[in-house]
Every structure is written in structure tokens, then in C-alpha cells.
Structure 1
Amino acid sequence: MTNPLVSYPCDPDTPTSHLPFSPSVVVGDLIFVSGQASVDDKGQIISDSFEGEFRRSVENLRKVLVSAGSDLAHVVQTRNYVRDAEDVALYNQLYREYFPDPKPARTTITNCLPPSLRYEIEAVAVRKL
């Protein structure tokens, strides 16, 4: 049974995964974005420096948000996963580039990802009016 208030936007530019989840779920004006990592458009992990993985992950988040009718400026909350605690200073520096004031609510967890990933981000955003 489908719910007319819930949608699952996905366009050709939206990163996909072979894992069982939707890139985003829209409920009313809220957009819930699944974790975005340093992957290509087929969901294959692209290993890189922390900065490279961070930028690719946030750009993937941006693509998912655009397909759902939003953008990074409309993010209200993020959950961030940083594999190595020594990358937190760089993470904070890069985060400020993508999320200027006023910043969204944020949670950061370290020492939590598998060796194949350095960073992952999930978000809640609102649709652009």
C-alpha cells in the first residue's frame, strides 16, 4: 500500500546503492537522506584522502537533495561519521565550507566506520518553497 504523503525521489543523477535502502524519503516538506559516502554513481566506494571522501560524500548529499527539491542551504540536521578521530579538525574546517551560518543541528561520531570508508553523512532537510 502506498501513502500519497510519502515519496522516494530518484533521478539519473542520484547516487544509488546495491544495499537495501532509498537515497531519500520525502514526507510532506521534510526530506530524510540516507547516509552518503564517497561512492560513484553506481554505489562503488571510491577510496581517497579524508578531504576527498568528505567532498565526494557532501556532493552526493547535494545530488540527493536536488532530486528531492532541496539543497544544502535547507539542511536542518546532519549526522556525521568520521572513521579516524585525528581527522576531526579537518572535518570541522571542511564542514564550515559547505554549511555556512546558521549551521544545521549536528551530531558527529568517530571511530565508527569500516576501513573502506573515512566519512559518511546523513541529513534531514526541508523542501525549497
Structure 2
Amino acid sequence: MSEKFFSSKEASEITGCSLRQLQYWRERGVVVPPISATGTGRSIYYSRSELAELAVMEYWLSVGLSFEVAARALQALKHKAPDFSDPVVQKRFMLVWDRKEKDFRLEEFEREDAIASLDQGQPVIPVWLDWIHQQLAVRLDKPTVK
């Protein structure tokens, strides 16, 4: 079975990211799909794995994280769970504010730890990969996306 790839326009429609965001993220090295030189131009195609990366970035930006924090969090996620873009991965994580480092750190989601952090006045931002994969699957099943 061969892997399906998606054009920038399709990736934009599936993930809700603008074409400009996709270009900016490529330029900044955050989500970089392979570029093939075909014909007279360049073709950029995103794999299912890269769609998951885009969806995570879009989610973190939608909850108010800055681009820089979201990009660092995505790199941390790739490090902690290199298989996170696989739809069967059901892991849940959270970004927790680290007062010493004055930055967010990525941890596996533990309800008690999240509540304890909230009780201490520290922000907690969950990222549930099962939900992200479910949303991607719904969008991939839409008839407008080929």
C-alpha cells in the first residue's frame, strides 16, 4: 500500500492552516515536506505524518501560544513521541509552565499533575493526539479533499 501525499492547497484545506502559514513554517524549518522538482516548477507534497504536525501546530496557535513556543513544543513532541504522527498513537500530553525555566515543558498527561499545576496557578495546555488524529480522519473523509 502506497502512502498518499497532499498538495499545499489540500494540506491547507485539511488542517485549516493558511497557505502563507505553510510557507512560513517551511521557511522556518518547523514542518518541512519534501520538495520535488518536476516539470517547470517545484511541487510540495505533505504526507499524512506532516498533516499531523501541521494540525498540532495549528491547535497550539489556536489556544494562544506564540509561534516560537508552538514550534519548540512540536520539536519536543517529536523527541518524546517520534511516532506521534501515526494515527494509532493514542498518547496525551500537556504543556506545563516551568517557573524555573520560564517556559513551557512537554509532559505526558497525568490528570493529578495537571490539577496540581493549575492549583499552583500554572497554565496547563493539553494536547490529545487521539483527538487530533480523529479530526484529521474526519477532514480526510470529506469528499472535497481528494
Larger Rg: 2
Query: Which structure dedicates a bigger proportion of its chain to strand?
Result: 1
Whether the TM-score (by the shorter chain) exceeds 0.5 is: no
Q: TM-score, normalised by structure 1?
A: 0.29
* Larger RCO, structures 1/2 (Cα 8 Å, 6+ apart): 1
